[in-house]
Amino acid sequence: MTSRAATRAREAATLLFVPGDRPERFGKAMAAGPSLVVLDLEDAVAPDRKEYAREQVVAWLEENPECAVRVNAAGTAWHDEDLTVLRRRRCTVMLPKAEPATTRAAGEQLGVLPVVIALVETARGVLDARETATVPNVQRLALGSFDLAAELGADPADRDAFVAARGALVLASAAAGLPGPIDGVTADLENEAHLTDEVHYARRLGFAGKLCVHPKQVPVAAAALRPSREEIRWAQSILDAADAGGAVAVGGQMVDKPVLERAQRVLRQAREGNGR
C-alpha cells in the first residue's frame, strides 16, 4: 500500500524551501500553499545553527508530519544524526548530493517509514540517476542545478548547459516508473515572466515539479505547471472522438493508444490542479 507521504512526494508540483532554523517562517511557508513544504537543514542553515535547526524541525513535525525535510549530505558531520531523528517519522526526506550508494545507505538508515526525494546535483549523480531512481523508498528525482553548475563550471541559468542533465533525470524517472522529476531553483525572485518561462521549458522536457525558494514563486510555478486551455481542449477532443468508437482521427492525427493516454494524463492534471 502506498503511504500518504509517498503519494504527496509523487504528486507534488511546487516544493517550497524554508530554513530549518527559522521556525517563525514554517507556518507562513505552509500558508503559501505549496504542494510540499521542505524544511531545510542543509544549505540554508549555518554550521553553528545545525543542531538548533534540527530541534526546531523535529518539534514542528510532531504536529505537521506532511512536511518534507532536506537533510545534510552524506559525509557531513550532521548527516547521520539527521537520518536518525527522522527514522520513525512519516515524512518525506530530501536527500542532497544523491548518488546510488549514498541513497541506498540513507534508505537503510531511515527504514521503511520515510520516503525519499533524491536531489541529484553532481555529475556522478546525473550519470547514475537511473540506478538511484530504483533504490527502495525513492519516490521522486529532483535537479539541484546550482551545485551541479558549480561542479561543471557552468552558469545555472544556461539552459543549453543542462539539457543533458535534465534529459537524464526525465528518462531515469520514466524508466523507473516514477513521476516526472522536479526542476531546480530559479534564483530571480522578481521576474515572474522569467520564472513562468523556466517552468514551461522544464515541463516541455518532461518535468512535473519546481523547487521554490520564496512564497511568491509558488503560485506562479503552479500556474505554469498546469495544462493550458488549448491542451485541455485538445485532450477533451481526443477523448470525445475515442468515445465514438472505431478508428478515428482528430485534426489529421490518428487517435491510437499513446495519444489517448496522453490526453487522459492532460485532463487528469487539469483536474488535480498540478503539473504531474
Is the pLDDT at 71 greater than 70? The verdict is: yes
* Domain termination site, one of 225, 241, 257: 225
Q: Could you give the C-alpha distances from 204 to 69, 147, 163, 177, in angstroms and in order?
A: 28, 23, 12, 19
Shared domain for 90 and 178, answered yes or no, is yes
Shared domain for 128 and 257, answered yes or no, is no
Q: What average pLDDT does this structure show over 5-15?
A: 94
Shared domain for 62 and 146, answered yes or no, is yes
90 is known to lie in a ligand binding site:
no
Shared domain for 27 and 153, answered yes or no, is yes
The predicted structure's pLDDT at residue 2: 67
70 is known to lie in a ligand binding site:
yes
Q: What average pLDDT does this structure show over 250-270?
A: 73
Is the pLDDT at 161 greater than 70? The verdict is: yes
Shared domain for 177 and 241, answered yes or no, is no
The predicted structure's pLDDT at residue 247: 55
Interval 180-208: pLDDT, tens: 999 999 999 999 999 999 999 999 999 99
The predicted structure's pLDDT at residue 92: 96
* Domain encompassing residue 248: 230-272
Confidence of residue 233 (pLDDT cuts 50, 70, 90): confident
The pTM (predicted TM-score) of the whole model is 0.88
Confidence of residue 3 (pLDDT cuts 50, 70, 90): confident
Q: What average pLDDT does this structure show over 61-66?
A: 94
The predicted structure's pLDDT at residue 273: 60
Shared domain for 180 and 207, answered yes or no, is yes
Confidence of residue 229 (pLDDT cuts 50, 70, 90): confident
The predicted structure's pLDDT at residue 276: 37
25 is known to lie in a ligand binding site:
no
Shared domain for 25 and 102, answered yes or no, is yes
Shared domain for 95 and 213, answered yes or no, is yes
| Euclidean distance between CA atoms 168 and 249, whole angstroms | 33
Pairing type for strands 115-120 and 138-143 reads: parallel
Region of poorest pLDDT, from 19-33, 188-202, 236-250? 236-250
Closest CA to 110 of 138, 77, 142, 141: 138
What CATH number is given to the structural domain containing 170? Answer: 3.20.20.60
Shared domain for 257 and 177, answered yes or no, is no
Interval 99-150: pLDDT, tens: 999 999 999 999 887 899 999 999 999 999 999 999 999 999 999 999 999 9
209 CB contacts (<8 Å, ≥6 apart)?
12, 13, 14, 15, 35, 140, 142, 179, 180, 181, 182, 183, 225, 275, 276
Is the pLDDT at 263 greater than 90? The verdict is: no
Shared domain for 250 and 185, answered yes or no, is no
DSSP labels for the chain?
---HHHHHHHH--EEEEEETT-GGGHHHHHHT--SEEEEESSTTS-GGGHHHHHHHHHHHHHH-TTSEEEPPPTTSTTHHHHHHHHTTS-SEEEETT--HHHHHHHHHHH-SSSEEEEEE-SHHHHHTHHHHTTSTTEEEEEE-HHHHHHHHT--TT-GGGGHHHHHHHHHHHHHTTPPP-EE-----SS-HHHHHHHHHHHHHHT--EEEESSTTHHHHHHHHHSPPHHHHHHHHHHHHHHHT-SS-EETTEE--HHHHHHHHHHHHHHHHTS--
The predicted structure's pLDDT at residue 194: 97
Judge contact between 111 and 103, C-beta under 8 A.
Answer: no
Shared domain for 45 and 140, answered yes or no, is yes
Shared domain for 159 and 268, answered yes or no, is no
Task: Tell me what the pLDDT averaged over the chain comes to.
Answer: 91
> What's the domain count of the chain?
2
